[in-house]
Amino acid sequence: MFIEPLLMSDAHLSHIEKVKQASDALRGSISEGLADEITGSISEDDKALVKFHGMYLQDDRDRREERAEKKLERLYSFMIRLRLPGGFLTADQWLATQNIAGEHATGVIKITTRQTVQLHGLYKSHVKPTIQAFNQASLYSLATCGDINRNVIAAAHPRQSPIHQEIHDFSYKIDQLLLPKTKAYYEIWLDDEKIADKKDEEDPLYQDRYLPRKFKIAIAIPPNNDVDVFGNDLGLIAVIEKGKLQGYNISIGGGLSSTHGNPATYPRLGTVIGFVSGEENILKTIYEVVTIQRDYGNRSDRSLARLKYTVDKMGVDWFKTEIARRTGFVLEKERPFLFTERKDYYGWFQNSDSLWYYTPFIENGRVTDDEKVAMKTALYEIAETRKLNFRFTANQNVILADIQSEDKAAIEKILQKYNIEAYTQSISSIRRNSMACVALSTCPLAFAEAQRYLPSLLSKIEPLLDKYHLQQEDIILRMTGCPNGCARSYIAEIGFIGTSLGKYNLQLGGDHAGMRLNKVFKESLDEDAILQELDVLFAAFAKEKKAGESLGDFALRKQWV
């Protein structure tokens, strides 16, 4: 049945909808705001618009009180995120990124849970030089945030399949298909001339209202679900038969966030709706899923605007029919697929083209030099050999990639010089499989710590696992400072979701492959309570688990949640 798209009167549109429409293709008053030296901030409306250019205005929350006492405005700075479909950088681009981080930001590169990098702490006067320096290295931040398709992620490790590159390249094609047409980014940041004819930036996909909310796409290659494909608005699951890519199973409506106290919001795993083959038809399907969300997504309440709510509101069957109506063909029945794992492959591996890959452990994606390891210095020196590429994973790691056999020794020598191999090997299973989001001090939405706290919490959890001889268990543990789920804590076997400073909901029962959401086990626990609960859980797990049973499956079977 055809249902007319919702034509909302202006009164029902959220404020951001009006900002987008009145923005002159995302220009707003960003240029004027940048020139204003009186404040480190920008106007409220421009804060929404700069997201589309790849930035967030933030402030240092650790320094709010001290600044308020001195009657100073908050210490504002920008976070910038790069657009890297499939998470790929050349060695020269890595060097440029490290140099830019040192010159204009805090010096720390943060590898995100979506295969890209962020720099934090850019003062207003540094933003334009940063984007210009990135541009020199052919790197862009356009459309990495905002109500638009974000960085397309793809199975990271080239050992995953002999046709990994073909599948990986598809992330670029999707990226290009869904880029906005506005020239505002080039005008504002790169001083391109103002376009004379507005027709040049007419955008049939995004029009002047863009999407109701962010939109995320991932490509997975079974059996490894390293991208957490079902946490995405749109997921593509590669179907490979006899060494050839047949096409993709399509999943829609994944999203991993909820809001404390708002029962209308919920995390949801994507629903597989069928199979599609042939590049043209695959791209058409992707495009039309996006247009359906554009036309039917909720534009009055942003907390209910993601595709998952549109899918549940309209129904999966309706959605499939509407895709067929728009593309002119019907999706085939889904093909069988099996995910058995969801992890990064640490250490050295060779792929089918005899190229070498090394994944070091980078705790929560923060590339820095600390008391444990000089990762930042080591990676810079490795990049200077220019004998590799850098591939990011969706688990906040980087793979030193595409290394010829004859170049391996040189890179290994640098890894050894900085003790990276021994350090990576020394990391416990649970820490290797853990992730924490940024949270404090930059994230304005954080209720609790995450990346600054998880390392020390893990140091207290590790002895508990040792106590019950569980140190070899591949337990997936994730922590977020709020229920937005940026480190995908809703699909961890042990998930921590911040409720207030020092307190977390403890969630249990997620599976190993990312096919099942976890559930709240205990609410708002402090550290002592967390450790007590885990002690009891690990004791029971050690005693009663079946052979090969994972902690998440055990927690569910034994009805802990």
Would you name the residues annotated as active-site residues?
81, 150, 214, 216, 437, 443, 482, 486
Of residues 385 and 441, the one with the C-beta less far from ligand SRM:
441
In the list 174, 438, 464, 530, the residue contacting ligand SF4 (rule: CB under 6 A) is: 438
Is 509 exposed, middle or buried (CB count within 10 Å of its CB: 0-12, 13-18, 19+)? buried
Tell me how far apart the alpha carbons of residues 351 and 371 are, in angstroms, rounded to a whole number.
33
Residues 464-493: x/- map of binding to ligand SRM (CB under 6 A)? --------------------xxxxx-----
Question: Cβ–Cβ contacts within 10 Å for residue 54, how many?
Answer: 27
Of residues 91 and 437, the one with the C-beta less far from ligand SF4:
437
The answer to whether residue 482 forms part of the interface with ligand SF4 (CB under 6 A) is yes
Q: How far apart are CB 478 and ligand SF4 at their closest, in Å?
A: 10
Q: How far apart are CB 113 and ligand SRM at their closest, in Å?
A: 4
Q: How far apart are CB 447 and ligand SRM at their closest, in Å?
A: 12
In the list 171, 480, 507, 550, the residue contacting ligand SF4 (rule: CB under 6 A) is: 480
Q: How far apart are CB 438 and ligand SF4 at their closest, in Å?
A: 4
Question: Cβ–Cβ contacts within 10 Å for residue 325, how many?
Answer: 12
Q: Which stretch binds ligand SF4 (CB under 6 A): 52-60, 113-121, 182-190, 433-441?
A: 433-441
Q: How far apart are CB 442 and ligand SF4 at their closest, in Å?
A: 8
The answer to whether residue 442 forms part of the interface with ligand SRM (CB under 6 A) is yes
**Residue 306's binding partner out of ligand SRM, ligand SF4, none, with CB under 5 to 8 Å set by partner kind:** ligand SRM
User: Helix 91-104 to helix 124-136 angle, to the nearest 10 degrees?
Assistant: 170
SS3 483: coil
> What single string gives the DSSP state of each residue in 37-98?
-S-S---HHHHHHHHHTTEEEEE-GGGHHHHHHTTPPP-EEEEEE---TTSEEEHHHHHHHH
Of residues 117 and 437, the one with the C-beta less far from ligand SF4:
437
Could you tell me which residues come within 8 angstroms of residue 351 by beta carbon, excluding any fewer than 6 positions away? 158, 159, 162, 164, 357
The answer to whether residue 79 forms part of the interface with ligand SRM (CB under 6 A) is yes
In the list 118, 225, 249, 395, the residue contacting ligand SRM (rule: CB under 6 A) is: 118
**Residue 482's binding partner out of ligand SF4, ligand SRM, none, with CB under 5 to 8 Å set by partner kind:** ligand SF4
**Residue 480's binding partner out of ligand SRM, ligand SF4, none, with CB under 5 to 8 Å set by partner kind:** ligand SF4
Of residues 436 and 464, the one with the C-beta less far from ligand SF4:
436
Strands 244-252 and 398-403: unpaired
Q: Which residues face 495 on adjacent strands?
A: 478, 507
User: Helix 454-467 to helix 527-544 angle, to the nearest 10 degrees?
Assistant: 30
Task: Tell me the HSE value of 390 on the side-chain side, using a 13 A CA sphere.
Answer: 27
SS3 333: coil
Task: Tell me the HSE value of 122 on the side-chain side, using a 13 A CA sphere.
Answer: 26
**Structure tokens of 155?**
């199975």
**Residue 53's binding partner out of ligand SRM, ligand SF4, none, with CB under 5 to 8 Å set by partner kind:** none
The answer to whether residue 81 forms part of the interface with ligand SRM (CB under 6 A) is yes
Residue numbers 444-463 binding ligand SF4 by CB under 6 A: 445-446, 450
Task: Provide the residue type at 444 as one letter.
Answer: P
**Residue 152's binding partner out of ligand SF4, ligand SRM, none, with CB under 5 to 8 Å set by partner kind:** none
Q: How far apart are CB 215 and ligand SRM at their closest, in Å?
A: 9
Q: How far is CA 300 from CA 5, 22, 252, in A?
A: 14, 16, 22
Does 223 sit behind a cis peptide bond, omega within 30 degrees of 0 on the bond before it? Answer: yes
Query: Site residues (CB under 6 A) for ligand SRM?
Result: 56, 58, 79, 81, 112-114, 116, 118, 150-151, 214, 216, 228, 231, 255-257, 306, 365, 396, 437-438, 442-445, 484-488
Positions touching ligand SF4 (CB under 6 A) are: 437-439, 443, 445-446, 450, 480-482, 484-486
